[in-house]
A and B are shown apart, each in its own frame.
Chain A
Amino acid sequence: MKRGDIKTAASSQGRWANSGNGIALYPVDIDHPVFTAVVSPDTAFWALVDKSELAGVFTDGHPLYREYYRKAETFAHEMNALRFGQKPSAVYVNPTERCNLDCSYCYIPGEMRKDGRDMPKEVLIGALERMKRYFRRNTPEDYKPEVIFHGSEPMLNREAVFAAIDYFGDDFRFGVQTNGTLLDRESADFLMSRGVGIGFSLDAPEAVLASRTRKTWLGDGIYDTVVQAIELVKGYDRYSVICTVTKENMAALVDMVDFFHAMEVPVCMLNPVRCTRVGGHMMKPDDAAVAKYYLQALDRTHELYRETGRKLVVANFANILLAVLAPTARKLMCDISPCGGGRCFVALSAKGDLFPCSEFVGLPEFNGGSVFHEDIDDVLEKTSFRKVTGRKVEDIDPCNRCAIRHFCGSPCPAEAYSLHGTMRSPGAFCELYEKQVRYAMRLIADGKADDFLEDNWENSVETVFDLALSSPA
């Protein structure tokens, strides 16, 4: 199916899946005792089919195929709009190049983090004015664009960041992604009083392991400081903690979710390390091994929920689950093809230059030019951006023949480019995604999916397909 068009010149009536004008509908084993999935790759449509009934789905006139065929074009248009019809509505801002830490996997070059520049307050506000004008032209009137202060370490330029938050007030929704080492009571109160989202980073539930990846330039761990900072925002409903998953800490993921849950962290992310720079690549865990630990951690979050009634949402998995249940309701724009870089959001460097994503800030060939001197619409069309926004799973082997390609998106382009020198290479954690999608489908089969999503997630979605068929037991 091409861009939502299921009609071709062929005379086939499309009566059967997988031939002629029939729609692709591939069986995918999900390691479930009763159900196998069938997936239509181009539309991300799926069904769970009792294994004893599987062959029947592919017979002429089967109600599943018939009903899906009626909706397939609508779903294809929906995916097309999601994948190709967006304009940026968020900006990731690096208000400084500097960082007080030297984490082993950071994607910002070391010399930049050590001796880089800060963005003066007036320059930051001027840059955000430019972004605001762009967003106003390209987003609905009642939509509030997003500004996320990101790293290096934004709190090293706290004065400018806080000035911008107060200057723009309700013009934006703000977030700060921080290593937590510079967040004192005063700063935490400032951010919480203004409803700013706060993201922390912590890689282990104890100091020795945590310091293997996240440390100062002198090599000292920062675990205690970060835990104290997280304590400052306990009870605040807009914070999260990222655990970057490496070969060092993957075996501790179950302990990590225990720790987060005990700290009453509402949302965490267990992000596999990005291999954009050598340091990250050196920390890359084995794909199959990390998948095993990752799913064990998900199991543990469910046990904790059942034991206590309180959820710890693993947001990056929840996003995969959403991609299956409601493709257009997903939130993170990494696990989609093309990724969100340069099409759903942009990144602004401390020098005022635009990049498709923060992940590219250390790669000069992806510099789209100054926010002060270039028209943002023109920047989005430059080669530096088009290389990223044009990267799609249909052009990548084996994604072009993968049934679950639109639940995964084969992230990340910066990583693929750095590792293989080409955008047309797959993401670094293919098997982890295979297993996450299967896990998500097993949850759906067992009626447990809600337990892994934010409460009331269904308030903002509508049902567009709902078929449940029964047969005598």
Chain B
Amino acid sequence: MKQHQTTQKNKTVIIARRKRSSAKGTGLSHYILIEKPSEKKEHGKKA
């Protein structure tokens, strides 16, 4: 993720960002079913 730095010349005045799961549908999981990042794309639900 980007660091929002203010320079002497310019300052960031608006930050707007949105991401979405690239798995099929959502990445439903459970807190005790900790996923390794490499597994995440295998999971997901058809919307």
In the complex, are the beta carbons of B19 and A461 less than 8 A apart? yes
Chain A neighbourhood of B36, CB < 8 A: 237
Q: Is the interface of B mostly helix, strand, loop or mixed?
A: loop
Bound complex: CA A35 to CA B20 (Å) = 24
**Residues 8-37 of chain B, each 1 if its beta carbon lies under 8 Å from chain A, else 0:** 111111111111111111111111111011
Residue of B nearest to A266 (CB): B34
Residue of A nearest to B22 (CB): A462
Number of interface residues of A (CB under 8 A): 85
> Which of A111-119, A137-145, A223-231, A398-406 is found at the contact surface with chain B?
A137-145
Listed residue (A199, A331, A463) with the most chain B CB atoms within 10 angstroms of its CB: A331
**Residues 337-353 of chain A, each 1 if its beta carbon lies under 8 Å from chain B, else 0:** 00010001100000000
**Residues 290-315 of chain A, each 1 if its beta carbon lies under 8 Å from chain B, else 0:** 00000000000000000000000001
Give the contacts of A131-166 with B (CB-CB under 8 A). 138-140, 142-144, 146, 148
Bound complex: CA A456 to CA B34 (Å) = 13
Say which residue of A87, A446, A470 sits within 8 Å of B13 (CB atoms): A470
Say which residue of A148, A237, A457, A469 sits within 8 Å of B14 (CB atoms): A469
Chain B neighbourhood of A287, CB < 8 A: none
Bound complex: CA A89 to CA B20 (Å) = 20
A35-B15, A454-B37 are known contacts. Are A199 and B31 too (CB-CB below 8 A)? yes
Any chain B CB within 8 A of the CB of A424?
no
Say which residue of B2, B22, B27, B32 sits within 8 Å of A177 (CB atoms): B32
Tell me how far the C-beta of B8 lies from the nearest C-beta in chain A, rounded to whole angstroms. Answer: 6
In the complex, are the beta carbons of B46 and A146 less than 8 A apart? no
A329-B26, A470-B13, A473-B8 are known contacts. Are A240 and B32 too (CB-CB below 8 A)? yes
In the complex, are the beta carbons of B14 and A146 less than 8 A apart? no
A50-B12, A469-B12 are known contacts. Are A329 and B21 too (CB-CB below 8 A)? yes
Chain A neighbourhood of B8, CB < 8 A: 473
In the complex, are the beta carbons of B28 and A89 less than 8 A apart? yes
A89-B45, A462-B20, A464-B20 are known contacts. Are A53 and B32 too (CB-CB below 8 A)? no
Any chain B CB within 8 A of the CB of A460?
yes
**Residues 85-96 of chain A, each 1 if its beta carbon lies under 8 Å from chain B, else 0:** 111011000000
Bound complex: CA A90 to CA B44 (Å) = 11
Any chain B CB within 8 A of the CB of A444?
yes
A237-B34, A266-B34 are known contacts. Are A469 and B13 too (CB-CB below 8 A)? yes
> Which of A7-15, A41-49, A387-395 is found at the contact surface with chain B?
A41-49
Say which residue of A57, A140, A173, A468 sits within 8 Å of B12 (CB atoms): A468
Query: A48-B15, A326-B21, A459-B40 given. 16 additional CB < 8 A pairs?
Result: A82-B26, A82-B47, A197-B30, A267-B34, A328-B20, A329-B20, A330-B26, A331-B29, A446-B4, A454-B37, A457-B37, A459-B37, A462-B22, A465-B17, A468-B2, A471-B11
